[in-house]
């Protein structure tokens, strides 16, 4: 069902949505057979949309109104839905979110990896679909993004804000009143904003590179510890101390209160040394029976409850008996390394980040685990004959690379090593499928288990089991 007409020089289309893309767009087809992508739509809907871009093989449209809603459509909880870009599935009920994410995994494996697996276990859903994150990062701005409706009022707005960068436009920051993914962050963030405006603190200007308040990091753990780190662009000692003391007084439950001066061109604080204003430099997280020290610059899965499920699945896929020599590639702070350590003979973790390796060693010591070792270096460069000769040929390899997937050098090494089993954990089904396709000359894909780490968003984690082909 589709037709189009011109109204006030706008091209309006009416289309039936048949599917949802991996990017979160509703997918339909026009009468001429051209595919159309429409934002914020669900399968089974008939919508009216304004054509935005008309390409050779597809077009993009902006939703104007829903003529026939999907049975899966629900009212989004967040007032920022449609602008923020983070929770692109808030208009969908949770069962449909899980369907969409399972399909993303299956489509990537078949289309990109040319893999047709018989065993795709039902996606592991999340018990908490809101307030599940353990970390959020906010940006301060002196020019908060205004909606079309706000601009049309002609009013003058105070554009100092604290929020998230808009997708596709990093210079634009949407002021966020309430994020439903981490409720504790809202009261801290909003208090900082109110104090800063009352005391005439300057907010960061991303284009002119000036302003005192630059960014805010808030972490929490499932045992109740909270970290708050404020990043300042300018070293105004008096104003910094006033705000930090205000936070210490008004939020005594903050376990680790820190700040950092970041006058660099980028927002990253991972190469800077934060100052502990109050409390400790680390907070402690519990994952299964293991405890992890998490610093301001530590990487840790941002959904702790689902991370435990994810690692349990990886451990089960590894089929460990207690005698295996295991390599954990891209091991980060050693969370998977330590989680599987009680089921194998030895685990060697490899990670490029020096800070992450230091954290991994601290976590091993904290948990009194001795059958693990950690090595800092580029996985592609380190995973060579010398390393294998020294640490032994692995029986099982677990790999959890960044979104870009594994380097070609790593794929080549894995094909040469020929471990009996590879467990591939990924936050990007597309690059995972690509890598599995490259490994298929020596490995069969035996099982797949998607895990929903981030309800309301398009992101999905996936665990794949690969077994060495019989000679």
Say if residues 305 and 132 touch (Cβ distance below 8 Å): yes
* Stretch (H or E) spanning 445: strand 443-451
Spatial separation of the C-alpha atoms in residues 260 and 244, rounded to whole Å: 11
Say if residues 166 and 201 touch (Cβ distance below 8 Å): no
427 is catalytic: yes
Q: Where are the alpha helices (DSSP H) in 130-236?
A: 148-153, 183-198
Spatial separation of the C-alpha atoms in residues 331 and 402, rounded to whole Å: 10
Pick the closest to residue 289 from 244, 386, 218, 223 (CA basis): 223
Eight-class DSSP state of 205: B
Number of Cβ within 10 Å of residue 71's Cβ equals 10
End-to-end CA distance of the chain: 53
Spatial separation of the C-alpha atoms in residues 407 and 330, rounded to whole Å: 11
Q: Please give the radius of gyration of the chain, using alpha carbons only, rounded to the nearest integer.
A: 24
SS percent in the chain: helix, strand, coil, step 5: 25, 30, 40
Q: Where are the alpha helices (DSSP H) in 251-384?
A: 304-318, 335-340, 354-366, 379-382
Pick the closest to residue 233 from 217, 209, 216, 257 (CA basis): 209
Say if residues 11 and 30 touch (Cβ distance below 8 Å): no
How many Å separate Cα 151 from the centre of its chain? 32
Report angle CA 234, 235, 236 to the nearest 5 degrees.
95
Number of Cβ within 10 Å of residue 387's Cβ equals 17
* Stretch (H or E) spanning 59: strand 58-68
Q: Where are the alpha helices (DSSP H) in 176-265?
A: 183-198, 237-250
Say if residues 460 and 105 touch (Cβ distance below 8 Å): yes
Where does residue 82 rank: exposed (0-12), middle (13-18), buried (19+ CB within 10 A)? middle
Catalytic residue among 59, 84, 179, 427: 427
What would the DSSP string read from start to end of 92-119? Answer: B-HHHHHHHHHHHHHHHHHHTS----S-
| Alpha-carbon distance values, 447 to 156, 165, 329 (Å) | 57, 37, 20
Annotated catalytic sites, by residue? 427
């Amino acid at each position: 069902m589709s037709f189009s007409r011109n109204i006030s020089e706008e091209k309006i289309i009416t289309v039936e949505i048949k599917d949802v893309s991996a990017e979160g767009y509703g997918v339909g087809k026009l009468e001429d057979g051209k595919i159309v992508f429409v934002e914020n739509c669900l399968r089974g809907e008939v919508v009216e949309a304004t054509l935005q871009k008309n390409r050779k093989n597809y077009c993009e449209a902006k939703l104007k109104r829903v003529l026939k809603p999907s049975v899966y459509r629900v009212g989004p909880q967040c007032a920022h839905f449609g602008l923020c870009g983070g929770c692109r599935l808030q208009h969908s009920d949770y069962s449909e979110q899980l369907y969409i994410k399972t399909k993303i995994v299956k489509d990537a494996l078949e289309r990109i990896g040319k893999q047709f697996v018989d065993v795709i276990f039902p996606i592991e859903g999340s018990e908490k679909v809101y307030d599940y994150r353990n970390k959020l990062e906010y940006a301060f701005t002196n020019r908060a993004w205004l909606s079309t409706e706000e601009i049309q009022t002609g009013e003058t707005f105070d554009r100092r804000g604290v929020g998230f960068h808009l997708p596709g436009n990093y210079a634009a920051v949407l002021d966020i009143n309430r994020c439903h993914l981490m409720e504790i962050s809202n009261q801290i963030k909003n208090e900082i904003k109110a104090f800063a405006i009352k005391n005439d603190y300057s907010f960061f200007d991303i284009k002119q590179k000036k302003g005192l308040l630059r960014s805010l990091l808030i972490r929490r753990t499932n045992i109740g510890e909270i970290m708050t780190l404020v990043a300042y662009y300018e070293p105004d000692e008096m104003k910094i101390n006033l705000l930090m003391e205000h936070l210490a007084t008004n939020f005594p439950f903050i376990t680790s209160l820190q700040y950092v001066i970041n006058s660099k061109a980028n927002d990253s604080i991972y190469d800077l040394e934060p100052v502990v204003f109050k409390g400790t430099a680390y907070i402690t997280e519990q994952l299964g029976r293991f405890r992890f020290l998490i610093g301001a610059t530590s990487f840790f899965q941002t959904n702790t409850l689902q991370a435990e499920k994810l690692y349990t699945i990886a451990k089960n896929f590894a089929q460990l008996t207690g005698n295996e020599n295991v390599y954990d590639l891209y091991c980060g702070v050693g969370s998977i390394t330590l989680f599987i350590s009680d089921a194998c003979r030895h685990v060697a973790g490899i990670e490029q980040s020096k800070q992450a390796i230091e954290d991994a060693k601290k976590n091993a010591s904290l948990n009194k685990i001795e059958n693990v070792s950690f090595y800092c270096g580029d996985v592609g460069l380190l995973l060579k004959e010398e390393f294998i000769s020294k640490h032994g040929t692995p029986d099982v390899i677990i790999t959890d690379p960044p979104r870009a997937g594994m380097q070609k050098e790593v794929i080549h090494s894995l094909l040469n090593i020929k471990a009996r089993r590879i467990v591939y954990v990924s936050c990007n089904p597309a690059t995972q499928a690509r890598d599995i396709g490259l490994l298929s000359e020596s490995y069969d894909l035996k099982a797949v288990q998607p895990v929903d780490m981030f309800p309301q968003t398009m992101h999905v984690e996936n665990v794949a089991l690969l077994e060495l082909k019989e000679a």
